[in-house]
Amino acid sequence: MKHFHTPSMGLALIVGIFAAGEASAIDFGGQNYVALAAGSTTLPTQGLYQQNFQFVNIGFDNQARLNGFLGVTLGRAFSNGLRPELELSRRENDISKFGNRLYDGGGQLDGHGTEGGDFALLNVWYDIDLSRFNIPVRPYIGAGLGRARIKVKGLEAGGVNFGDAKADVSANQLGVGLAFNVTDNLTLSLDYRYIRTEAGNFGSIPNIPPGDVEARYKASSTSIALRIHF
């Protein structure tokens, strides 16, 4: 199983961002910033696999809630529109049901527990300046990649407890959003992210036939972020 090196990777990314900022300040200008974000996350039905066979589907409660996505970012906004940043974020959803249960003859059961993840990502965004058209809002688009620890907690269905599980995986995301300046040093943005990981190995789970369980995490998040420039 791969190991999760968030502290060392985070330090390297922070150094890289600010080194690039200092080296490019003469040519591009720009400001450093820190941002806080909160929002909601939705997950599609997720398949669990053993030996490449899908043995169950997990469904999620995707009701909107402001703590479904929490994030902090540190980056630099260059005057040419490029905006590299380091993101540390967390996503979480409640599990609501189990379907297509191969080991129990199919059917559906109510489920309980949570699934989420901690993410460390390096993103690069491009801000589109529309000020020449007297439009104060700046759309942006971009992508990111990094590492994630996906965690399942309190997994239970039909009175059977399947315990907790976790997997360390690579992750990548796509994002778009709209931003506008509240003041010279404050920016508010509305953000959308789609994130996807590689298939993770969650090991053996209690109360099902022996064998490693694999699953891939996919999620869409919408959030509001406040950037503080310095």
Q: What is the mean pLDDT of residues 182-193?
A: 97
| pTM, to two decimals | 0.85
**pLDDT class of 11 with cuts at 50, 70, 90:** very low
Domains and CATH numbers, the chain: 6-229 (2.40.160.20)
Q: Above 80 in pLDDT, residue 25?
A: no
Q: Region 56-78: what's the mean pLDDT?
A: 94
Nearest C-alpha neighbor of 66 from the set 214, 229, 228, 225: 225
Classify residue 98 by its DSSP letter.
E
Give the mean model confidence (pLDDT) for residues 69-75.
98
Q: What is the pLDDT of residue 7?
A: 44
* Torsion over CA: 60, 64, 67, 68 (sign): positive
> Phi, psi at residue 83, to the nearest 5°?
-145, 85
Q: Are 167 and 144 in contact (CB under 8 A)?
A: no
Q: Please compute the mean of the pLDDT values over residues 178-198 and round it to a whole number.
A: 98
* Distance, CA of 78 to CA of 59 (rounded, Å): 41
Give the C-alpha separation, 51 to 40, whole Å. 33
Which two tokens mark 98? 């189990």
Q: Is the pLDDT of residue 157 over 60?
A: yes
